[in-house]
Amino acid sequence: MFCLTPLFAQTVAQQIKIPIYKVNNNHYISAYEYARANQADIYFNENKKKLSIKSTQSKNIVISQNSSFIIVNEKIYHLFLPILYQNNDFLIPINAFLNTMKNISGPIGFIDTSNKHFIIYTQRTINIDDVAIKNKTNGMIIHIDTRQKFNDNIISGAISQGWLSITIPGGIIDSAKIVNAKKKYPVKRIRCIQNIESAQISFLINEDIDEFQINSSDDYININIRMNTEENIAIIKERGEKWLLDTIVIDAGHGGKDPGAVGIGGIKEKTITLDVARKLGALLEQNLGVTVIYTRDDDTFVPLYKRTRIANESNGKLFISLHANSAKKSHKASGFETYLLRPGKWDDAIEIVKRENAVIQLEADQHRYKDFTDEEHIMGSIVQNQIIKESEFLASQVQIQLDRVLNIKNRGVKQAGFHVLVGAEMPNILIELGFVSNKKDVRLLSKAQYRQKMAAAIFRAIKTYKEQYEKSVIED
């Protein structure tokens, strides 16, 4: 099979500005800046104060401190003014250098009219190739093809007068290709500026940008842009109207080889969660006429990613994850609480998150959770922001209903980043039913009647949520 891909790096003709320095009324350029502009390799001989500049056009220039002679491709030329060595840099007399190089290989550039810059003609190796615009329902992704990894920490972006400008240190752009890249609404124009140290690509965007985020990989830079929030809310709402609250997913935490928290008297979290899940499911099926999907309905181990997949694939409209708490340090800790997944609040309730997420270590496919890239997370977070309002309402209802019937502490609604809730495309909450490390909680959690009480309270919360949800769909 033939391979037509060129083996050599693609170069582009560019004009690059470098500053001219004035010393004793003579004009000079920095040898290092000249070398960088030409992407040349430099070899510095410190003992001899000699510098070799070897550019991609295989022009080899050697200069020495205080010498007015330069060597170009092993031939000696006279510049009449000496090369200066200042602040660890060599200064080359620009006029003589320009004339000498012109005689050797044709013009290498020109001095601008202000006498402040030397504009170099150069061939540079492109490392930024192309741009593609991908529309998303809630914004867009500007995908920049690169030939190397640019660390996203050093890439910067700024918005000014409708232009989003991305500055990429070390970037060398194929300006012609990028400026003429296929534009899609809302990108109206693309501009490029090539500097010695960086490349700047600017996009004229015909919509208000809410926020953007840059992330890079080995061969691309992605700019995730979120915009048009109001319109998106309308789209999501419209989609929501077609949804009936007909399927509820109940997720009994842990199971099988993962017992969850093990508490006083050997009480296991997985046993409590499964029993409450079954009781809640039965109430929902009998009284609300909805389909109940269990992520597990027996004592088996189900990885976290599978739990949300089950929820998404079954078209679940609500996701209820049941857990029980444990506090190693304080046996006094007691009560029930409901969690929301709130993007950007991952630091909250760190300890409980660590414990609940620790189950991932029991799973064979741990790498799956690394697949939540920033891009997916930001795009996912927008849907989550719509979902979160409904989740908040449900969570508050759960706390209200549990508080009415239970005699243990109401710890309120909290926010944290649970893996089990990441990726659930529906309102979702995680309920911690009580502490298996607390005597009183354990005594209650061990009773079937008490577990029935909890299930009934959660059921009433869901019923209120369903009524509210359907009412708002009709009213809007």
**Interface with Zn ion (CB under 5 A):** 253, 260, 323, 356
Whichever of 170 and 259 has its CB closer to Zn ion, that residue is: 259
SS (H, E, C) 290-314: CEEEECCCCCCCCCHHHHHHHHHHC
Whichever of 53 and 395 has its CB closer to Zn ion, that residue is: 395
Whichever of 93 and 260 has its CB closer to Zn ion, that residue is: 260
Residue nearest Zn ion by beta-carbon distance: 323
Cα 42 to Cα 58: distance, rounded to the nearest angstrom: 12
SS (H, E, C) 132-182: EEEEECCEEEEEEEECCCCCCCCCEEEEECCEEEEEEECCCECHHHHHCCC
Residue of 85, 95, 88 whose CA lies nearest to 64: 85
Q: How far is CA 337 from its chain centroid?
A: 30
Could you give phi then psi for residue 92, rounded to 5 degrees?
-105, 130
Whichever of 352 and 382 has its CB closer to Zn ion, that residue is: 352
> Considering the complex, what minimum distance in angstroms separates the CB of residue 262 from Zn ion?
11
> Considering the complex, what minimum distance in angstroms separates the CB of residue 432 from Zn ion?
8
Whichever of 209 and 280 has its CB closer to Zn ion, that residue is: 280
192 has which bridge partners? 201
> Considering the complex, what minimum distance in angstroms separates the CB of residue 263 from Zn ion?
12
Whichever of 30 and 308 has its CB closer to Zn ion, that residue is: 308
> Considering the complex, what minimum distance in angstroms separates the CB of residue 277 from Zn ion?
12
- Return all residues near 447 (Cβ < 8 A) that are at least 6 apart: none
Whichever of 253 and 434 has its CB closer to Zn ion, that residue is: 253
183, 133 contact by CB (below 8 A): yes
Residue of 224, 226, 225, 221 whose CA lies nearest to 152: 221
> Considering the complex, what minimum distance in angstroms separates the CB of residue 356 from Zn ion?
5
Cα 168 to Cα 427: distance, rounded to the nearest angstrom: 39
> Considering the complex, what minimum distance in angstroms separates the CB of residue 187 from Zn ion?
46
Whichever of 253 and 335 has its CB closer to Zn ion, that residue is: 253
435, 326 contact by CB (below 8 A): yes
Whichever of 20 and 280 has its CB closer to Zn ion, that residue is: 280
Tokens linked to 463:
């019923």
Looking up tokens 């033939």, which residue turns up? 2
Helix (H, G, I), strand (E, B) or coil at 211: strand
Looking up tokens 């309102």, which residue turns up? 427
Residue type present at position 317: K
Residue of 295, 346, 347, 283 whose CA lies nearest to 323: 295
Helix (H, G, I), strand (E, B) or coil at 112: coil
Indicate the Cα dihedral angle 120, 59, 49, 69, nearest 10°. -90
Whichever of 79 and 274 has its CB closer to Zn ion, that residue is: 274
> Considering the complex, what minimum distance in angstroms separates the CB of residue 419 from Zn ion?
11
